[in-house]
Amino acid sequence: MRVAIVQTKPVKGRYAENLRAAGEAFAQLASDPPDLIVFPEAALTGYFLEGAVYDLALCAPRFARDLADAWREACGERTVDVVAGFYENDDGTFYNSAIYLRVERGSEQIVHLHRKMFLPTYGVFDEERFLSRGRKLGVFETRFGRMSMLVCEDAWHAIVPTLAAIKGARILIVPSASPGRGIEGDRELSSITQWREVLRQAAIEHGVYVIYAGLTGFEGGKGMTGSSCVIDPRGEVIVAAPPLEACIVRAELDLREIELARAGLPLLGDLSAALPDLLLDDELPLPRGARDASDR
């Protein structure tokens, strides 16, 4: 399976201009088109929109059609799968979403739509003030096997990639827009180091490929860290993009490596066996409604 990550540096708020840039990226891939192209979170609008999100959010079918038209204009009727993050307007409810789109001759199909579940509202973030959170973690079938999409902070909560893997995901796709924070001893930003370890741990523990697409560029003085990468089921980074520039990186995924990694370190199988006992632990906190029902 051949993957290309398009690490975008969008002009904040200029959707049409950024869509043209996406078409230019498609054109660069036309001579040797990949099977799957992955864009970051908020790839065609920029991330820090605040109230402008209501003007720039699109319904999923419109966003899918725009991406498909840009692909066809650059590459004709070749089949391709595309993932991209965008702000979604679902009949007046607004989400930070990611779309998995299959483009074929004369048609495009939304294979899956994921709505970000964890909306940060701390530090420089203010998402939950403007957006609604998603309430379902989906695992979906593709022509390459079962996948799941996690948008940015979704991936930081270890239970989320765990549940995706338990539900059958073999590839995790993580569109992200992560501002840089801190400096490590080797002059790498702390946020880049932390992201890489979070993603590597998910890959190792569950025997999955992780495809991470990071936004880059500056918005309102905040620098996005890019650093898109692909991590194999043993936790090895097989390709990585630089932090500060728009670029395209490619990787080839050998899907047989998933079974080999899981056979060598069968943590996912062990977890599947123990999970029912873990979930029945009466010391786990329950949502208020569930606890009230259990008391009746």
Q: What is the band of 206 on the pLDDT scale with cuts at 50, 70, 90? A: very high
All structural domains of the chain:
2-295 (3.60.110.10)
Give the Å distances, CA to CA, from 109 to 81, 101, 183: 9, 6, 43
User: Residue 146: what pLDDT?
Assistant: 98
Q: Which two tokens stand for residue 28?
A: 């660069």
Please, are residues 22 and 39 in contact by the beta-carbon 8 Å criterion?
yes
User: Residue 40: what pLDDT?
Assistant: 98
User: Which of 131, 234, 117, 217 has the alpha carbon at shortest distance from 164?
Assistant: 117
pLDDT in tens, 251-271: 999 999 999 999 999 999 999
Could you give the residue ranges of the DSSP H alpha helices within the chain? 15-29, 53-56, 60-75, 127-130, 159-166, 190-206, 256-264, 267-279, 288-295
User: Residue 205: what pLDDT?
Assistant: 96
Q: Is the pLDDT of residue 112 over 60?
A: yes
Query: How far apart (Å, rounded) are the C-alpha atoms in residues 44 and 85?
Result: 8
User: Residue 188: what pLDDT?
Assistant: 79
Q: What percent of the chain has pLDDT over 90?
A: 82
Q: Is the pLDDT of residue 53 over 90?
A: yes
Query: How far apart (Å, rounded) are the C-alpha atoms in residues 30 and 4?
Result: 12
Strand-pairing partners, residue 37, are: 4, 82
pLDDT in tens, 213-241: 999 999 878 889 999 999 999 999 999 99
